[in-house]
Structure 1
């Protein structure tokens, strides 16, 4: 049986604990829980609010409500994106 070094596994565990503590705790206790990048409840609610704001702006003829609805839809679309935010991506330099 092959032996693996413990250091990379403990590093991976620490990174998961930092990134999503609820998911890490669920793995420790054996109760499954969705990772953070698949939880979209607040984004769907914001999308519904933005659609309502946009429709109200069109019906009332108010450009400010239309613009607010479009901005909220953009924010909701950003929250629904499953990819990690750009600031959290790690760049690993190549070893020569």
Structure 2
């Protein structure tokens, strides 16, 4: 490779390490990991917790809990939406 291509690769590697250090470290040791934008574990937990809050609000008949659950479920669903 020419020197300019090497410099571009080094710049790309540095930017990747800055954006998502866990992904960059996993690639360097040879055990790939999903990039940050495709890891949705937190979104699933948020969806589970807010669904529980919504169901609890319906059982207790508390409007504030129902509203909180609906807003939370909407936010969690937005987090699960894949990036375009």
**Which of the five TM-score ranges fits, normalised by the shorter chain?**
0.7 to 0.9
With the length of structure 1 as denominator, give the TM-score of the two structures: 0.74
Quote the residue 1:49 is aligned against: 49
Give the structure 2 partner of residue 21 of structure 1: 21
Runs of 4+, deviation exceeding 6 Å: none
Q: Distance in 2 between matches of 1:33 and 1:61?
A: 43
Partner Cα distance (2:69, 2:83) in 1:
24
Structure 1 unaligned blocks of 5 or more: 85-96
| 20-29 vs 72-81, which moves further | 72-81
- Where structure 2 has 5 or more consecutive residues not aligned to the other structure, the ranges are none
- CA distance in 2: counterparts of 1:77 and 1:43, whole angstroms: 8
Higher share in helix: 2
Within 5 Å, give how 1:1-96 maps onto structure 2: 3=2, 5-83=5-83
1:79 deviates by 2.4
Question: Does the C-alpha gap of structure 1 residues 59 and 75 become closer, same or farther in structure 2, counting only changes over 3 Å?
Answer: same
Report the RMSD for the aligned CA atoms in angstroms.
Answer: 1.9
Aligned partners of 1:19, 1:28: CA distance in 2, in Å? 15
Instruction: Give the number of equivalent residue pairs.
Output: 83
